[in-house]
Amino acid sequence: MTGARPRPLGYPLSEQDEPELDPGYAALRRDEPLTRIRMRHGADGWLVTRYDDVRTVLSDPRFSRAAVVGADVPRTVPERPGQPESIISIDPPEHGRLRRLVTAAFTARRVAALARRVAATAGGLVDDLVARGAPGELVSAVAMPLPVVVICELLGVPAADRDTFRAAADAVMSTSAIPVEQRQRALLDLRRTVAALLPERRDRPEGPGDDVLGGLVAARDDDGDRLSEDELVSLVTDILIAGHETTMNMIGTMVRTLLAERSRWEALVAAPEAIPAAVEEMLRFVPLTRREGLPRIATEDVALTGGTVRAGEAVVVSLAAANRDPEVFDAPEELRPGRAPGAHVAFGFGPHHCLGAALARMELQTVLRVLTTRLPALDLAGPVEWRATSMIRGPARLPVSW
């Protein structure tokens, strides 16, 4: 194998809590774009850092997610990947069958229809923050509750269950700092809570409803070949977790990034029409994940820049490194909120491209509009406390004044 190191590189390159990209990624992307790595658990694998190669791994059917289930792939947690019925862990064409059932909930048109409700919710949260007086704490006041409310309303999850879902998702998304048994129990409890919602939907005289949960129940009951009961529960669980966790952390990180260099915040206050481009640039620039996503396993030999991945070998892609590729982005190590939006891969690429990308963009843009309009003098009011035990980086506490 050309380009292989005599000894695998320890990975991740660094474990800092603050969302900064280790400069070692740039060196690997330049000198060794296909790098042999060894993570805390599992067998050795390959790391891909160049933009074009990352997109190839994410879209080429020769790289399988389904093959990863139960395999001893490189990983930062002790347990092997499971849940074969999850939309995250299956390949086309089965993946397309499940994806089509939920795509309608996340179309640009439906997301646009939600924008007014999201703005009203964000406005109410900001009002409550202001009413409690300055200084305040933005994560617990706005960044955490907003995406939880939005995804639960989209799915049709009762308000009384939202705290339960949030606590369970926090445990599920934790790193190995949380015991394996606790993470597994949290996921099982979350799935049981989701399953407990289904009988009530089925007993409604008017039908299961027109939200996402109702639509999936109808798909399951009208034609069981389209969706099994386990797939239904898994889909709703995956959407609940993915639908708020990343957005929650990105809201806090985005605000902190803008306030850390005051001119960036003031530019958006003066020109709110620049908010969409600023959001895209921060999505490109900020390395939000503490660890890379689920690896893929090559089902046959595939040539990439720097060598060949052999059939049966695991591959990890770095979206953050791809988003700093100088072959694609001009001066990629600089955050330029006015940069023309490019084809970043913050939401992935290919069949597993994030279902909720349009929803996340709308939420991020909306919360920035609300904050810059209602709190134009917003500023940091103390040191940021970063989350230390989550797969997704972000502030645990973001003290602010206004």
pLDDT tier at 128 (50, 70, 90 boundaries)? very high
- The fold adopted by the segment(s) 9-401 is Cytochrome p450 (1.10.630)
Does the pLDDT value for residue 176 go beyond 70?
no
Does the pLDDT value for residue 374 go beyond 70?
yes
pLDDT the model gives residue 182 = 81
What is the average per-residue pLDDT within 165-181?
A: 75
pLDDT the model gives residue 177 = 65
- How is residue 120 written in tokens? 């009203």
What is the average per-residue pLDDT within 47-58?
A: 98
Comparison of pLDDT for 162 and 288, the residue scoring more:
288
pLDDT over 90 for what percent of the chain? 65
pLDDT the model gives residue 78 = 84
Does the pLDDT value for residue 2 go beyond 50?
no
Comparison of pLDDT for 218 and 181, the residue scoring more:
218
Q: Where are the domains of the chain?
A: 9-401
Taking only the tens place, the pLDDT of each residue in 132-167 is: 999 999 999 999 999 999 998 888 888 777 777 777
pLDDT tier at 3 (50, 70, 90 boundaries)? very low
What is the average per-residue pLDDT within 46-68?
A: 97
pLDDT tier at 168 (50, 70, 90 boundaries)? confident
Find which of 111-125, 202-216, 266-280 is predicted with most confidence, using mean pLDDT.
266-280
Does the pLDDT value for residue 119 go beyond 90?
yes
